[in-house]
Structure 1
Amino acid sequence: MTAASQITVSIFMLTYNQEHCIAQAIDSILAQKTSFKFQLVIGEDCSTDSTRSICENYQNKYPDKIKLLPSIGKNIGLINNYFRTINACEGKYIAICDGDDYWIDEFKLQKQVDFLEANPDFAIVGTNYHKLFKDNSLVEEKKEHSKPYYEFSDLIFKNVLPSVTTLFRNIPKQEPLPNWILKYPYGDWPTYLWVLKNGGKIHFLNDFTAVYRMEIGVSAKLRKTLSDIETVNLNILKDIASDDAFSHKNAIISKSINDKKKQLVSLYNREKKYFKAFALFLKTIFKQENKLGFVKFYVYSVLKSVKLI
């Protein structure tokens, strides 16, 4: 049995120019108390500050627990770093913790692995978490779930999984992620959908296990304009619809695409991008089952944007 085959959990961590917080992130992983072997896989993307040297010091100190993947010569970008790092994860399960986030429950991995080991019909486990803002204020993010578990048919409409809390079965080890993901600024949501495409459910533990830093990173930049991030999500859905691996999910994927287009129409109107809203409305209405309802929805979103209702 090789050392890699004994790894139960691979934690993949992406980092770039995070010298102010990378040590806290790594320490929170090393503090995990488990009955199994885990390995931290760090994708360090040619940082211009001291991030790489900090990571190298940790790897030298904990060579059995840390695998460092430095970019040589140039920055390769977030999504390429995501791909090579997740591909280097050899454990039965994968957990995510970016270099600017950290875990606060030393039994996080043990709890999540115990659940998946006992429940083979589940593929992903998430938890509650805290949001950390720039003023150092912490806000609890506790989800009140309306159902005991979630499935592909739920996640295809909205990503309900905060990446810093997730642990999932290493499906990408047997079925490599599709290359179309490389077109996008993030890969977590399509990865979860890939994991669930042939079955498996999502469970949420009530524990608070992690801290997610707000107002920094790629997703924070995108969310400055909500229509931008929803446009990315719509394009992801279109690629999923074109991927033969998801062909058995065509009906629910088509429904989610129409739903996403409606969301975009509303967001464009809210952001005063009326031409974009109208153009998308015209392209979408003929694919709507309830055309009159969609017309009413469009008119309502316009009136609401100009505060007439």
Structure 2
Amino acid sequence: MSYSREPGLVSIIIPSNNNSAHIEDCLDSLIKQNYKNIEIIVVDDASVDKTNSIVLKWRSRTESMLGTNRIIHCSIPRTIKETGIITIGFFLARGEFIALHHPDDISHPERMQKQVEYLQGNPDVQLLGTNYTFFEDGCFEKQTMATSLQYGSEDIFESFSFGNHCICAGSVMLRGNLFDRLGGLNRSMLETPVYEFIFRCVVLENINAVNIQDILYYRRSKGGNTHENKWADVW
């Protein structure tokens, strides 16, 4: 990095690809966060639908709420897949804290505030997820609880050691200096790069990772798919 991280700032990375149907819902949930010291970074992987135009219109309508240069839109002309666009987001992030967010999903208004407060109060924890629910596309009120989560760092370590996932990647907030030390996602992992990054942090680097029990993240379920143990649902 060629600059110092901005204290208290949360950099929220949204990797997108043809998410025109839901990206605005995602962004609206972030502009409504109680914690206002945020920057929103959308990195788009060569979408061919209206995703980019929707993001640009949303930025022009809302950037006065966050301030100049707090909504960043980076459109990649040729696809580099999830691994590449998330890593670009990491490099663009200026914040003391970095949050991930899936473009189809929604965050609770208190998500960023509660995660920042937890990390500030627990300096030994470097990666923090939250409890979450699935909601049916088109019916937010119809929700299903997550069942695969673990909460304590020891239980999370054991779960990942056996090849399971017990942290919802879209709910993750990590300290920016963790990325500075470890670097981005593994470009050889095309299918589950976020899982591999968290696995590397938890198992290989033995960092403290926990989940908080508050439901602060909502995953959109399409076609009744709530099988969170499948690799496609690591997000």
Displacement of 1:14 in angstroms is 1.0
Determine if the alignment matches structure 1 residue 28 to structure 2 residue 29. Answer: yes
Equivalent runs, 1:71-82 vs 2, <5 Å: 71-72=76-77, 74-82=78-86
Give the percent of matched residue pairs that are identical in Structure 1 and Structure 2.
Answer: 18
Matched, 1:41 2:46: no
Superposed, 1:25-104 pairs within 5 Å as 25-34=26-35, 37-60=37-60, 61-62=62-63, 63-72=68-77, 74-103=78-107
Counterpart residue identity of residue 39, structure 2 = Q
Whether 1:120 and 2:123 are equivalent positions in the alignment is yes
- May I ask how many residue pairs the two structures share in their alignment? 218
C-alpha separation in 1, matches of 2:222 and 2:42: 22
Query: How big is each residue's C-alpha offset from its partner over 1:87-137, in whole Å with a ceiling of 9 and x where there is no partner?
Result: 22221221111111111x211111111111111111222221111234733
For CA contacts below 8 A with separation 6 or more, give which structure has more relative contact order. 2
Q: CA RMSD in A?
A: 3.0
Amino acid at match of 1:166: V
The alignment's TM-score, normalised by the length of structure 1, stands at 0.62
The Cα shift of 1:191 comes to: 1.6
User: Aligned with 1:168: secondary structure?
Assistant: strand
Trace 1:1-309 onto structure 2 (pairs within 5 A): 5-6=6-7, 8-34=9-35, 37-60=37-60, 61-62=62-63, 63-72=68-77, 74-103=78-107, 105-134=108-137, 136=139, 137-141=142-146, 145=150, 147=152, 150-157=155-162, 158-170=164-176, 171-177=178-184, 180-196=186-202, 197-215=204-222, 229=231
TM-score for the superposition, normalised by structure 2: 0.79
Structure 1 stretch displaced more, 166-175 or 57-66? 57-66
Alignment correspondent of 1:291:
none
- Distance in 1 of aligned mates of 2:153 and 2:85: 34
Equivalent position amino acid for 1:14 in 2: P
CA contact (8 A) 2:29 2:106 kept: yes
Please say if residues 15 and 99 of structure 1, whose CA atoms lie closer than 8 Å, have aligned partners that are also in contact.
yes
Q: In 1, distance between residues paired with 2:213 and 2:156? A: 18
Query: Structure 1: any 5+ residue segments left out of the alignment?
Result: 234-309
Greater helix proportion? 1
> Which structure carries more strand by proportion?
2
Task: Report if the CA contact (8 A) 2:151-2:213 is conserved.
Answer: no
Aligned-pair CA distance for 1:32: 0.8
For the pair shown, the structure with the greater C-alpha radius of gyration is: 1
Query: Alignment partner of 2:188: what SS?
Result: helix
**Does the CA contact (< 8 Å) of 1:164 and 1:211 recur in 2?**
no
In the TM superposition, what whole-angstrom CA distance separates every residue of 1:147-198 from its partner, at most 9, and x where no partner exists?
57545444232210011222112211233136x4433223211222333343
SS in 2 for 1:79: helix
Distance 2:129 2:154 in 1: 11
- Unaligned 5+ runs, structure 2: none
* Separation (CA, whole Å) in 2 of partners of 1:211 and 1:116: 21
Q: 1:50-71 deviations in whole A, cap 9, x for unaligned?
A: 1101111233341432111111
Q: Distance in 2 between matches of 1:214 and 1:49?
A: 21
- Residue 16 of structure 1 aligns with an amino acid whose one-letter code is N
In 2 relative to 1, CA 175–204 (structure 1 residues): closer, same or farther, beyond 3 Å?
Answer: closer
Structure 1 residues 146 and 29, CA gap change in structure 2 (3 angstroms): closer
* Residues 251-308 of structure 1, C-alpha deviations (whole Å, 9 max, x = no match): xxxxxxxxxxxxxxxxxxxxxxxxxxxxxxxxxxxxxxxxxxxxxxxxxxxxxxxxxx
Paired with 2:130 and 2:82, the residues of 1 have a C-alpha distance of 25
Distance 1:117 1:147 in 2: 17
